[in-house]
Amino acid sequence: MTASIIDGKSFAEGLRGRIAGHVERLKSEHGITPGLAVVIVGHDPGSQVYVAQKAKQTVAVGMHSEKYELAETVSEAEVLALIEKLNADPAIHGILVQLPVPDHIDPQKIIQTIDPAKDVDCFTPASVGKLAIGLPGPVSCTPLGCLMLLRDQLGDLSGLHAVVVGRSNLVGKPIAQLLLRENCTVTIAHSRTRDLPSIVRQADIVVAAVGRPEMVKGDWIKPGATVIDVGINRIDAPERGEGKTRLLGDVAFAEAAEIAGAITPVPGGVGPMTIACLLANTVTTASLINGLVPPSDLTA
């Protein structure tokens, strides 16, 4: 048995097409152009590439895009002042500060200064609380992308046993909350879970988000299970030439693909969904800020 490959790249392309349609409708029917502001502090090369992609895709779906590149030496007070300015700007419906920030800036202070109504990354305490108790609003981009892929692959998730390997605020905890909403039975496991392989073998759905390359082995997977690999681990690849690297997920893909029913590859699985879901969240916040019901095909 060989698993079906869940093509996140193709799904994200379709999602961006739906987003563009909703943006056009907001413009034509309500005079609203969703606006996203991205703030980056310093010159981390990975962050630079990621922010450039976000800006490009924002414009491609017809949204208003603003990018603020601040020097590594910028003061915390200056960053906070910029966020307050964006909070008050009616043309901006989503604010994202690219993490990590330099050591002299407190990321929690940054996050808590963002207006929760414009929190498209869903890191503010208000956004986390809304997710926990089921209030409407955007949810974290990567977990939302995982959920969309699972729904597309499996349809109704009700009653399935999902094991989430990883307990981060970024992915592990919010995807567990989303799967509970879908009426899954959810187990949150992590690197210190006793007999982790036997826990994972019980799962109809495995979400691997632990940040360790190929930690989840093929023989941990229940035959026919659906595997969502959130891991993006860059490792040295001298066989490709000096200084070259390659990406590995948190799941030993070749082994798991022999046993799973469906699996996301790395790259090309969850990764492309993250920026697409950021755009979806901006449509959601633009709708809510203006008293409109967000499009149901863009939300959890």
97's enclosing H/E stretch is strand 94-97
Q: For the chain, how big is the Rg over CA atoms in Å?
A: 19
Instruction: Report the distance separating Cα 39 and Cα 82, nearest Å.
Output: 9
Q: Which two tokens stand for residue 93?
A: 């419906």
Instruction: Report the distance separating Cα 44 and Cα 272, nearest Å.
Output: 20
Query: Is 98 among the catalytic positions?
Result: yes
Which residues are CB-contacts of 45 (< 8 A; sequence separation ≥ 6)?
A: none
Residue from 98, 119, 204, 229 carrying the catalytic annotation: 98
Residue from 57, 119, 121, 130 carrying the catalytic annotation: 121
Which residues are CB-contacts of 101 (< 8 A; sequence separation ≥ 6)?
A: 41, 42, 79, 107, 110
Query: Is 121 among the catalytic positions?
Result: yes
Q: Which positions are catalytic? A: 54, 98, 121
